[in-house]
Amino acid sequence: MKSISDLGDLRGKTVLLRSDLNVPLDGSTITDDGRIRASVPTIQELTKAGARVVVVAHLGRPKGEPEAKYSLQPVVGRLSELLGQDVAFATDTVGDSARSTVESLGDGDVALLENLRFNAGETSKDEAERKQFAEQLASLADVFVSDGFGVVHRKQASVYDVAQLLPSAMGGLVKTEVEVLKQLTENPKRPYAVILGGAKVADKLAVIENLMQTADRLLIGGGMVFTFLAAEGHEVGKSLLDTEQIETVKGYIAKAKELGVEIVLPSDVVVAPEFAADKGHEVVSIDAIPADQMGLDIGPESAKLYASKLTDCKTVFWNGPMGAFEMEPFAAGTKAVAQALVEATENGALTVVGGGDSAAAVRQLGFSDDQFGHISTGGGASLEYLEGKELPGISVLG
């Protein structure tokens, strides 16, 4: 696949750059700028080459028309600060504002267009509608660079269709993501542990099935762990439970034993009467979860156990928090796993935090990005890669 250096001399050329700026907002305040920071190196590589950079991205899930709460306007200021230069902002995607903004750019300048998903063509299942929007985007530029790893698993206009209309290459962020994920799937250094958390077991079934062929240990936490515990015959009270997947999980547990893959489940959990930080909580054995309580984190003994399972690892992939880390009483399990990854990194292991809630969790809990081997910008894309799926936004680049 082509990289930016394969595109030739970019001085004076307009580059359409698909970035991932889908950051969490509290009103107009950015609460985690990780994805913006991750986009900066590729933008700077292009500006230093003398390109006129037109950044396109999405934020949230608008329904194909403008919604003020999903505007990329709050991103402009932070992106300008990180780049050390002013970023022009177009108030539409392919309309008059976009065209005049792009036309006003000089060599080395940067512009950001408004949220792509304000146009229904971006995510349309109708190929003709999607292609029409892609043609409008392509008409703004000379070349296309794909650097939004968080969306490469989607067949969308700015990810897939544009790449077929302009000379195209992958940006540095996408290149790094793919290189790291290859290390998790092609002859990983062992022992290799995978930590999976988050709410829904259904979201992780395909990756569990695929990773059982390569991982040595699977450590399960988060809301999804209660379906595993139920599959082993435990009562889980009011905890999150996917009853439809219990039999599937039983099959995975049996398959893991057959393959010699260790599945690690908690021995204790933190429970509370409801999903709230101020309703009282306690630590109980997995054999003693009260009928009127729900599990909201792995317990302290489990946290020690999980950390011990990572001490000798040479490769670790983590996707999904161990509990409701946003609430202080239920953050300890996630913090213990993060600390264990930091120590594994210091001992020379490749540690990969798989985007989404996991990335937000480590930052919120006081860890810095450089304490881990790699923090992915794409949770869903990372998982689909590890499931063995083809990612349209990667394959289209040739």
Instruction: Supply the CATH number for residue 60's domain.
Output: 3.40.50.1260
Considering the domain boundaries, does residue 13 fall inside one?
yes
Same domain, 352 and 225: yes
**Residue 171 annotated as part of some ligand binding site:** no
Residues 322 and 250 in one domain: yes
Residues 129 and 235 in one domain: no
3-state secondary structure 146-197: ECCHHHCCCCCHHHHHHHHCCCEEECHHHHHHHHHHHHHHCCCCCCEEEEEC
- The residue out of 171, 201, 234 marking a domain boundary is 171
How many structural domains are present in the chain? 2
Asked whether residue 304 is domain-assigned, the answer is yes
SS3 readout for 301-341: HHHHHHHHCCCCCCEEEEECCCCCCCCHHHCHHHHHHHHHH
119 and 218 share a domain?
A: no
Question: Is 18 marked as binding a ligand?
Answer: no
Q: Tell me the pLDDT tens digit for each residue of 229-257.
A: 999 999 999 999 999 999 999 999 999 99
Residues 106 and 202 in one domain: no
Catalytic residue among 50, 64, 95, 380: 380
- pLDDT, tens digit, 9 for 90 and up, residues 89-134: 999 999 999 999 999 999 999 999 999 999 999 999 999 999 999 9
* Residue 194 pLDDT: 96
Residues 244, 112 share a domain: no
Q: Indicate whether 316 belongs to any domain.
A: yes
Please give the single-letter amino acid code of residue 394. Answer: I
Residue 37 is assigned to a structural domain of this protein: yes
* Options 13, 18, 35, 217, the catalytic residue: 35
Instruction: Report how far residue 256's alpha carbon sits from residue 258's, in angstroms, rounded to the nearest whole number.
Output: 5
Query: Has 108 been annotated as catalytic?
Result: no
Model confidence pLDDT, tens digit, residues 139-158: 999 999 999 999 999 999 99
Residue 395 lies in a domain: no
- The answer as to whether 300 is a domain residue is yes
Q: Is residue 60 annotated as involved in ligand binding?
A: yes
- Beta bridge mates, 298: 269
pTM of the model: 0.91
| d(C-alpha 308, C-alpha 109), whole Å | 50
CB 108 within 8 A of CB 49: no
What's the burial of 97, exposed, middle or buried (CB within 10 Å: 0-12/13-18/19+)?
A: middle
| 35 in catalytic set | yes
The CB-side HSE value for 168 (13 A sphere, CA atoms) comes to: 22
Is 357 labelled as part of a ligand binding site?
yes
pLDDT(379) > 90: no
Q: Are 70 and 60 in contact (CB under 8 A)?
A: yes
Position 360 confidence tier, pLDDT thresholds 50, 70, 90: confident
Q: Coil, strand, or helix at residue 30?
A: strand
Residue 285 lies in a domain: yes
Question: 140 near 94, Cβ under 8 Å?
Answer: yes
Q: Give the tokens for residue 24.
A: 């969490």
Q: Which of 108, 139, 171 is the last residue of a domain?
A: 171
Residues 71 and 199 in one domain: no
Confirm or deny that 358 is annotated as ligand binding.
Answer: yes
Q: Is 356 a catalytic residue?
A: yes
Q: Show the domain range for 292.
A: 188-387
Task: Say if 167 falls within a structural domain.
Answer: yes
Given 356, 373, 378, 379, which residue is catalytic?
356
